[in-house]
Structure formats: C-alpha cells, structure tokens
Amino acid sequence: MNSIFILNYMIDNKISSMSLLLSVPGVWEIIIILVIVIVLFGAKKIPGLAKGLGQSVKEFNDAKKEGKAEEKEDSATKP
C-alpha cells in the first residue's frame, strides 16, 4: 500500500525516480553502513581513516579557494 502511494505521488507531482534515489539515507541505512565499515576496517583503523578524510577535504577546499583567487586575479588583469 505504501509503495503504491509513493508511486502515485511521484506521478502526480512529476518527481523522477532519481530524486528519490538521491535522498538522504535514514537512520537504519546509516547504522548498516557504519557496521559494514567497522567490520571491514576494524575499530582501531577508523580514527586514522577519519583523520585522512578530513585532511583530504581540507586540502580540496584550500585548492578550490586558491583556484577562485587565481580566476579573480586573471580576470582583473585582462582588459
């Protein structure tokens, strides 16, 4: 019954199935993902993985800011 309601809602409101697939995962999905990560990597390696991921995100953001600054500089120097 629930899936029929969702399909009718999607058809009535012209919502694509892709937008449903890209929605935020629920609590159970997050718990399952965390359990899989713990089983695959072990509890001792997770802090190191999180630290590496954080550093990667920081470097990416720094490079993105640097690229924007270079674009502004280039557009300011060109007539």
Q: Does 51 share its domain with 79?
A: yes
* 76 or 30, greater pLDDT: 30
Q: Does 27 share its domain with 39?
A: yes
Residue 46 confidence (pLDDT): 85
| Domain coverage including residue 26 | 1-43
Domain count, the chain: 2
Q: Does 35 share its domain with 3?
A: yes
46, 38 in Cβ contact below 8 A?
A: yes
Burial category of 10 from C-beta neighbours within 10 Å (exposed 0-12, middle 13-18, buried 19 and up): middle
Q: Which two structure tokens, joined as six digits, stand for 23?
A: 């929605």
* 62 or 78, greater pLDDT: 62
Summarize pLDDT for 8-53 with one digit per residue, the tens. 555 556 555 555 556 667 888 888 988 898 888 888 888 898 899 9
Q: Does 3 share its domain with 38?
A: yes
Q: Does 1 share its domain with 36?
A: yes
State the pTM of this model: 0.49
Q: Does 55 share its domain with 20?
A: no
Q: Does 51 share its domain with 39?
A: no
